[in-house]
């Protein structure tokens, strides 16, 4: 077992606090520690913690390939697997814990059928995504939210913290790009991107993405919707259940980790550092890439 002060130890301590067993797996060919989380006497998740100090001393390309192969092999056995970066754990711990808890089946379940879907403004979207999405907010054209009316607050478990006086609660958000218009068979073809999707911390809004997608489809009538599955967290099989198909891979992307506050940026300009101050120390890292998924709305509608 990792020492409590280590990254691995912090994860195991948290898992123990929510009544899950955690142990270090015996992976002799693996360059980083692998943790197994057991629930109901079976392994349901493997978390691979990454110590940033390690990444300063190793061949990242080789380790990324090893990481990708390991995750793919684990998921092929039906076991969810995550590549968990230390900077995310330190800077956005509540979101990481919420996502892991959802994978372990211990989040508050909210049926999407009880919610109302509608467009929301930029300010509400940004606040929600900064609080509930691992990568925060980003630019988008169309923003939709799911609201749980007060009369259904009874589905929330005892001890769930929320504003019981509010008339409704925003429990999920999805954002979409403007249309990219192509010519297909001599006619304009409208393609949109699903950019962000997130549920409220510590909840699993069952059917949320499907309901948000349908609200967007009814209003904007896209010919297709494309999105990306982050390979560090999943292989995107949930998109397949919603009618998306794999359409290729996106290679690993570079990011800079600002070591002072564990914040990720693509370029130093994003930090907004005033000229003349001491230079900020960064660590260059690469993610595992992503799988591109596309849902062909126009074809499916014609077939039905």
Q: What is the pLDDT of residue 228?
A: 98
Q: What is the pLDDT of residue 281?
A: 85
Of 47, 68, 103, at which residue does a domain stop? 103
**Is 88 part of a structural domain of the chain?**
yes
Q: What is the pLDDT of residue 31?
A: 63
**Is 263 part of a structural domain of the chain?**
no
Contacts 24+ apart (CB under 8 A), 244-248: 244/293, 244/294, 244/295, 245/293, 245/294, 245/295, 245/296, 246/291, 246/292, 246/293, 247/292, 247/293, 247/294, 248/291, 248/292
With contact defined as beta carbons under 8 Å apart, do 20 and 39 qualify?
yes
112 lies in the same domain as 199 = yes
Spell out the per-residue pLDDT of the chain, length 304, in tens: 444 458 888 999 999 999 888 887 766 566 677 888 876 655 567 888 877 777 777 788 888 888 888 899 989 988 889 999 999 999 999 999 999 999 999 999 999 999 999 999 999 999 999 999 999 999 999 999 999 999 999 999 999 999 999 999 999 999 999 999 998 888 999 999 999 999 999 999 999 999 999 999 999 999 999 999 999 999 999 999 999 999 999 999 998 998 888 888 876 655 555 545 556 788 888 899 999 999 999 755 544 4
**Is 55 part of a structural domain of the chain?**
yes
120 lies in the same domain as 190 = yes
Q: What is the pLDDT of residue 127?
A: 98
Q: What is the dihedral of CA 111, 116, 118, 121, to 10 degrees?
A: -80
- Overall residue count recorded for the chain in this entry: 304
Q: Hey, how many other C-beta atoms are within 10 angstroms of the C-beta on 252?
A: 20
Which structural domain range is residue 192 located in? 108-222
Of 222, 238, 258, at which residue does a domain stop? 222
Of 222, 237, 267, at which residue does a domain stop? 222
Q: What is the pLDDT of residue 1?
A: 41
The CA-based diameter of the chain, rounded to the nearest angstrom, is 64
**Is 253 part of a structural domain of the chain?**
no
Q: What is the dihedral of CA 201, 207, 213, 218, to 10 degrees?
A: -130
**Is 73 part of a structural domain of the chain?**
yes
Q: What is the pLDDT of residue 291?
A: 97
**Is 29 part of a structural domain of the chain?**
yes
With contact defined as beta carbons under 8 Å apart, do 117 and 142 qualify?
no
Q: What is the pLDDT of residue 23?
A: 82
């Amino acid at each position: 077992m990792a020492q409590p002060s280590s990254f691995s130890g912090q994860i195991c301590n948290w898992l123990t606090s929510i009544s899950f067993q955690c142990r270090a797996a015996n992976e002799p060919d693996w360059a980083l520690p692998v943790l197994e989380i057991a629930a109901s006497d079976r392994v349901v998740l493997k978390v691979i913690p990454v110590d940033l100090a390690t990444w300063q001393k190793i061949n990242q390309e080789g380790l990324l390939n090893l990481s990708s192969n390991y995750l793919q092999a684990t998921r092929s056995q039906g076991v969810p697997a995550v590549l968990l970066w230390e900077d995310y754990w330190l800077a956005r711990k509540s979101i990481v814990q919420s996502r892991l808890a959802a994978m372990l089946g211990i989040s508050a379940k909210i049926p999407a059928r009880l919610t109302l879907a509608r467009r929301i403004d930029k300010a509400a979207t940004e606040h929600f995504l900064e609080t509930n999405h691992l990568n925060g907010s980003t630019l988008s054209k169309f923003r939709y939210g799911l609201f749980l009316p007060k009369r259904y607050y009874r589905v929330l478990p005892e001890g769930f913290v929320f504003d019981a006086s509010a008339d409704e609660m925003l429990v999920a958000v999805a954002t979409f790009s403007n249309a990219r218009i192509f010519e297909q068979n001599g006619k304009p073809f409208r393609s949109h991107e699903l950019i962000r999707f997130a549920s409220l911390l510590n909840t699993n809004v069952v059917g949320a993405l499907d309901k948000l997608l349908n609200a967007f489809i009814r209003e904007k009538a896209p010919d297709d919707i494309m999105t990306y599955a982050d390979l560090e967290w999943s292989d995107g099989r949930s998109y397949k259940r919603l009618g998306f198909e794999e359409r290729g891979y996106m290679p690993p992307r570079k990011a800079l980790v600002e070591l002072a506050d564990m914040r990720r940026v693509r370029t130093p300009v994003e930090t907004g550092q005033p000229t003349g101050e001491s230079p900020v120390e960064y660590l260059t890292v690469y993610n595992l890439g992503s799988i591109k998924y596309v849902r062909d709305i126009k074809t499916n509608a014609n077939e039905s």
